[in-house]
Amino acid sequence: MKNDLLGVVVTTTSAESNLLFAANTTTISASGMYEREGFRVDKNGDIKFPVVGNIKLEGLSISEAQKVLERAVDRFVKNPIVTVKYMNFRVTVIGEVNHPATFTVSNEKISILEALGMAGDMTPYGKRENVLIIRENDGQRTTTRVNLNQKDVLNSPYFYLRQNDVIYVEPDKAKAVEYSRSTRSLPVLVAVISGAAVLATALLNRL
């Protein structure tokens, strides 16, 4: 996808050729921090690769991108082996999970279950039968709901996540009831605390 950051390594029998196609893995920013570099897919769906020039990779899987790059590099060196990996593949898990966060993963194939595991799994209030997936395609956001209690979820096109997918785990009714009870009991608690404070002040004044 556009704005994906890819790590690309070209391996040949020549050390000079390997260096020719290499990109710096890190740079030092103005703040003195190390930052990762790679090849970013631009607004045209291309990356600018050393020696070769622009190569269109938008819409390809990692394995397909590797083959395209190998064919492009093969014009300059013999029998190249190209390895491609994501450097900014991110998914976000929010809602009724133990550790909601955005996670960066190096593998393009991560499932809903794996992402939930990274987030510490659902809380007891999470609705496994109604998990919301938010996905962006060509600037358009789409949403779908999946039932993790059903076996056919394994065949869902949303079971394996894509770049920037968001998983939202909705709370069940029990959480809403508990929250409502807590809210109703709050004024009583405040009154008890206030009464205790008044009593304490009266006792101190007698001393």
Q: What are phi and psi of 150, to 5 degrees?
A: -105, 145
Q: What are phi and psi of 15, to 5 degrees?
A: -65, -35
Is the separation of the CB atoms in 169 and 127 below 8 Å?
A: yes
The pLDDT value recorded for residue 159 is: 93
The pLDDT value recorded for residue 7 is: 87
The pLDDT value recorded for residue 161 is: 93
The pLDDT value recorded for residue 183 is: 52
Q: What are phi and psi of 71, to 5 degrees?
A: -65, -40
Q: Residue-wise over 167-200: b if at least 16 C-beta within 10 A, else e?
A: bbbbbbeebeeeeeeeeeeeeeeeeeeeeeeeee
Residues of the chain with pLDDT under 50: 25-29, 31, 33-35, 198-200, 203-204
The pLDDT value recorded for residue 198 is: 47
Q: Which amino acid is at 2?
A: K
Is the separation of the CB atoms in 55 and 72 below 8 Å?
A: yes
How far apart CA 140 and CA 157 sit, in angstroms, is: 17
Is the separation of the CB atoms in 47 and 55 below 8 Å?
A: yes
Alpha-helix residue ranges (DSSP H) falling in 99-172: 112-118
The pLDDT value recorded for residue 29 is: 47
The pLDDT value recorded for residue 166 is: 96
Question: Could you give the 3-state DSSP secondary structure of residue 74?
Answer: coil
The pLDDT value recorded for residue 177 is: 56
Q: Model pTM?
A: 0.65
The pLDDT value recorded for residue 19 is: 77
How far apart CA 207 and CA 202 sit, in angstroms, is: 9
DSSP code for 79: S
How far apart CA 120 and CA 204 sit, in angstroms, is: 49
